[in-house]
Amino acid sequence: MRGSPRALLVFLGRRLVYSAVVLLGVMVVTFAIVQLVPGDPIRLALGTRYNAEAYQALLEASGLDRPLPEQFFSYIAGALTGDLGVSFRSGQPVTVLLLERLPATVSLAVVGIGLALLIALPAGIWAGLREGRVADAIVRVTSQFGVSVPDFWMGLLLITLFSGILGWLPSSGYTPLAEDPGGWARQVVLPALTVGLVAAAILTRYVRAAVLEVAHSGFVRTAKSKGLSPKVVTMRHVVRNALVPVLTIVGIQLATIASGVIVVEVVFAWPGLGRLVYEAVAARDYAMIQGAVLLIAAMFLLINLIVDVCYALVDPRIRLS
Amino acid sequence: MSTTEDRPTAEGRVGEARLGSLRLLAASPVTVAAAVVLVVVVIVALTAQWIAPYGINDVDVSRALQGPSGAHPLGTDDLGRDILSRVMVAAGTSLQVALVSVVFAFCVGVPIGIVSGYVGGWLDTVLMRIVDVMFAFPVLLLALAIVAILQPGLATTMLAIGIVFTPIFARVARASTLSVRVEPYVQVAQTMGTPWYRIMGRHVLPNITGPLIVQTSLSLAFAILSEAALSFLGLGIQPPDPSWGGMLFAAQGFVSQAWWMSVFPGLAIFVTVLACNLLGDGLRDVLDPKQRTRIEARQR
């Protein structure tokens, strides 16, 4: 049974409305960031650069001199049309600054999640099919270690080994892929390895658990009792069905990496969204913090929406429930 | 008269289940080892100021960046301070932040989750949409936004991590409440006219402790990692107070000259987080009925 197209459309409609409601809530929270700052956010952002003219100019540019309801509706309208205001620090449009940082984060996310899947899928399936054996124990212990390692510490250790001791790879820096693919590849290895290994540890645990769950289910027992070969049962029934729920956790991991692995980007001086947030917080650039937090949360929602839709497409039970 | 008749049954069942769980926990060497490690870390954290070999701010530039030796088993940092002493004292800071923030998240999130799951209707919808909004922010990002609003420091770090973890506890408590709500002993209490707050406190809460205990253990691990990450970014615990993340932040400029500056504080975070995670896994194994049946079958 594949479920009717109408059921899928209803599911999509509901999911879209839900995402829109959550996005509105996210906008309320990001709007509140500036309003909740104790004291004058513009005075704090200017710091030692404060003078009356600069203060007045920034006050007008940010719209903070207007009544609160007007500020709120102007913020929502601006956000929906891609206008996130101007940076308190540089005076440049926040949207432009965010879009400049996006390619670095996306490239790190794609390589990182690719690496994680390359490790997690075989390791998780292998361990799940050998429950209770030595192989399973090795994978479980290794993934538990991976989950417990702070990613920034792993980054520092990788820098110590591959840059400091062996001198094979650069410890920091970023060259756009289109400019110099070779340089980009050399620079992306260590940060991608850092985010990829941590994500792989998390994913391995989920893949193993999903394989175990399916392997103990009734339809697998039926397939075995029908006399199907273990290879066919494993590939066609266990692995295929186990990978469906794993899709969700892959989406969450991708969203986490794509939304800026803040500390890893700081460790490797990787000029992505995460590092931009860090710089904005350190500089008390509230407009930039607002914009970056909103963009990241919206990306997070979008990726989860896409994952849910994919999930509904491959598993009719989701859209029929 | 209202609840005295059904109380012994519900509580007796809970007590019996707890005893069985403790027996299963004690039978797992990995869980026992994790618990022992955590006890050691807690003892070190509580006694660090008396047993640490040096003062945490004893600066002596003449002994800066010395590798591990008899006098300084974990070496010294760029200001000549003893790393072992700082790692020991920082344990207290990390555990304090983790504990306070998780207790905060528990105390705020669990009542929200229980009320949401038990009352249902529009209240459930509103509360869960608020929780969904909080879930739309990656953990560290939300914590950073809170730190940006307030000043970085010990209290802000605890509050930021506590707020970030609150929706997790709310969701776990709500999910468990939904399944407990339909149990006969809750329905009997409702029929007998037991007030809603008493049903939540006496019947719902004691029966959802399993998932909450597991979540607390796993959240402690994640809180330690979050505090370390915030301090590593210079936005958590502020110097001169030592924190594991702050020590790694200081070590960044010396990775090639003084590996011990980054290896030992990182190892302290890793071992503590690993112990919390293993304990959480062990607890989940015995408190999750499905897993429990499998473990008991294997032991027989």
Q: For the domain that residue B97 is a member of, what is the CATH number?
A: 1.10.3720.10
Q: Can you say whether the dihedral through the CA atoms of A11, A12, A15, A20 is positive or negative?
A: negative
The single-letter code of the amino acid at A75 is: Y
Q: Can you say whether the dihedral through the CA atoms of B175, B178, B183, B186 is positive or negative?
A: positive
- Min distance A300 CA to chain B CA atoms (Å): 6
At B47 the pLDDT is 95
User: How many structural domains is chain B composed of?
Assistant: 1
The span from the CA of A122 to the CA of A296, in Å, is: 31
B138-169: pLDDT as tens digits: 888 888 888 888 888 899 999 999 999 999 99
At A100 the pLDDT is 93
In a domain, B129, yes or no: yes
Q: Is the per-residue pLDDT at B175 higher than 80?
A: yes
At A301 the pLDDT is 86
Q: Residue B106 to residues A123, A193, B102, B110, B214: CA-CA distances in angstroms?
A: 35, 34, 6, 5, 12
In a domain, B184, yes or no: yes
In this complex, is the C-beta atom of B262 within 8 Å of any C-beta atom belonging to chain A? Answer: yes
Q: Which helix (H) or strand (E) holds B56?
A: none
Q: How many other CB atoms sit within 10 Å of the CB of residue A282?
A: 14
Q: Is the per-residue pLDDT at B300 higher than 80?
A: no
Which chain A residue shows the shortest CA-CA distance from B222?
A148
Burial status of residue B89 (CB atoms within 10 A of its CB: 0-12, 13-18, 19 or more): buried
The single-letter code of the amino acid at A135 is: A
Cβ pair A132, B262 in contact under 8 A? no
B234:A282 CB<8 A: yes
Model's pTM, two decimal places? 0.85
Cβ pair B242, B49 in contact under 8 A? no
Cβ pair A303, A258 in contact under 8 A? yes
A163:B138 CB<8 A: no
Q: Domains (ranges, CATH) in chain A?
A: 105-282 (1.10.3720.10)
Residue A258: CA count within 13 A, CB half-sphere: 20
A185-195: pLDDT as tens digits: 999 999 999 99
Give the contacts of B217 (CB within 8 A, at least 6 positions apart). B276, B277, B279, B280, B283
Cβ pair B227, B245 in contact under 8 A? yes
Tens-of-pLDDT digits for all 321 residues of chain A?
445 677 778 888 888 998 899 999 999 998 988 888 877 788 877 777 778 888 888 888 777 888 888 988 998 998 889 888 888 888 889 999 999 999 999 999 999 999 999 999 999 999 988 887 888 888 988 998 998 999 999 999 999 889 888 889 998 889 998 899 999 999 999 999 999 999 999 899 888 888 888 888 888 888 888 888 888 888 888 888 888 778 878 887 887 777 668 899 999 999 999 899 889 888 888 889 899 989 988 888 888 888 888 877 777 666 555
At B19 the pLDDT is 66
B227-284: pLDDT as tens digits: 999 999 888 888 888 899 999 998 888 887 888 999 999 999 999 999 998 888 888 7
The span from the CA of A137 to the CA of A131, in Å, is: 8
- Min distance A238 CA to chain B CA atoms (Å): 19
A60-83: pLDDT as tens digits: 877 788 888 898 899 899 888 988
The span from the CA of B168 to the CA of B147, in Å, is: 20
The single-letter code of the amino acid at A303 is: I
At A117 the pLDDT is 93
In a domain, B235, yes or no: yes
Choose from B218, B232, B252, B255 for mutation: most chain A CBs within 10 A: B255
Cβ pair B298, B121 in contact under 8 A? no
The span from the CA of B81 to the CA of B89, in Å, is: 13
Choose from B140, B257, B290 for mutation: most chain A CBs within 10 A: B140
In a domain, B179, yes or no: yes
The span from the CA of B128 to the CA of B131, in Å, is: 5
Q: How many other CB atoms sit within 10 Å of the CB of residue B48?
A: 20
Q: Residue B293 to residues A208, B15, B18, B298, B300: CA-CA distances in angstroms?
A: 19, 18, 15, 9, 11
The ipTM of this complex is 0.83
In a domain, B17, yes or no: no
SS3 state of residue A261: coil
Q: Which residue has the higher pLDDT, B105 or A173?
A: B105
In a domain, B65, yes or no: no
Both tokens of residue A54?
């600069």
At B14 the pLDDT is 57
Q: Which residue has the higher pLDDT, A300 or B174?
A: B174
Both tokens of residue B278?
């293993």
The span from the CA of B138 to the CA of A274, in Å, is: 11
The single-letter code of the amino acid at B282 is: G
B17-70: pLDDT as tens digits: 666 667 777 777 888 999 999 999 999 999 998 999 998 888 888 889 999 999
- Cβ-Cβ pairs closer than 8 A, A with B, add up to 130
The span from the CA of B134 to the CA of B147, in Å, is: 16
- Predicted confidence band at B2 (pLDDT cuts at 50, 70, 90)? very low
The pLDDT mean for chain B works out to: 86
Identify the CA nearest to B111 among candidates B223, B212, B189: B212
In this complex, is the C-beta atom of A102 within 8 Å of any C-beta atom belonging to chain B? Answer: no
SS3 state of residue B82: strand
The span from the CA of A151 to the CA of B96, in Å, is: 22
In this complex, is the C-beta atom of B60 within 8 Å of any C-beta atom belonging to chain A? Answer: no
Give the contacts of A245 (CB within 8 A, at least 6 positions apart). A206, A210
B137:A144 CB<8 A: no
The span from the CA of B86 to the CA of B243, in Å, is: 8
- Predicted confidence band at B124 (pLDDT cuts at 50, 70, 90)? very high
Q: Which residue has the higher pLDDT, B287 or B136?
A: B136
In a domain, B289, yes or no: yes
Cβ contacts of A267 on chain B, cutoff 8 Å: 252
At A229 the pLDDT is 83
Q: Which residue has the higher pLDDT, A212 or B12?
A: A212
At A194 the pLDDT is 94
Q: Is the per-residue pLDDT at B4 higher than 50?
A: no
In this complex, is the C-beta atom of A220 within 8 Å of any C-beta atom belonging to chain B? Answer: no
- Predicted confidence band at B3 (pLDDT cuts at 50, 70, 90)? very low
Map A89-143 to HEC letters: CCCCEHHHHHHHHHHHHHHHHHHHHHHHHHHHHHHHHHHHCCCCCHHHHHHHHHH
The span from the CA of A23 to the CA of B154, in Å, is: 31
At A1 the pLDDT is 44
The span from the CA of A170 to the CA of A184, in Å, is: 11
Q: Residue A277 to residues A187, A259, A265, B128: CA-CA distances in angstroms?
A: 21, 11, 10, 27
- Predicted confidence band at B16 (pLDDT cuts at 50, 70, 90)? low
Identify the CA nearest to B90 among candidates B229, B221, B244: B244
- Predicted confidence band at B295 (pLDDT cuts at 50, 70, 90)? low
Which residue range forms the structural domain that includes residue B160?
39-49+75-299
Hunting for tokens 């505090």 — which residue is that?
A: B227
Give residue A109's region: left, alpha or beta (phi > 0; psi -120 to 50): alpha
At A269 the pLDDT is 92
In a domain, B223, yes or no: yes
At A65 the pLDDT is 82
Give the contacts of B174 (CB within 8 A, at least 6 positions apart). B112, B113, B114, B116, B117, B124, B128
Cβ pair A273, A295 in contact under 8 A? yes
Give the contacts of A72 (CB within 8 A, at least 6 positions apart). A31
Residue A104: CA count within 13 A, CB half-sphere: 27
* Chain B (177-206) residues lying within 8 Å, Cβ to Cβ, of chain A: none
Question: A1-10, B4-13, B128-137 — which one is most confidently predicted on average?
Answer: B128-137
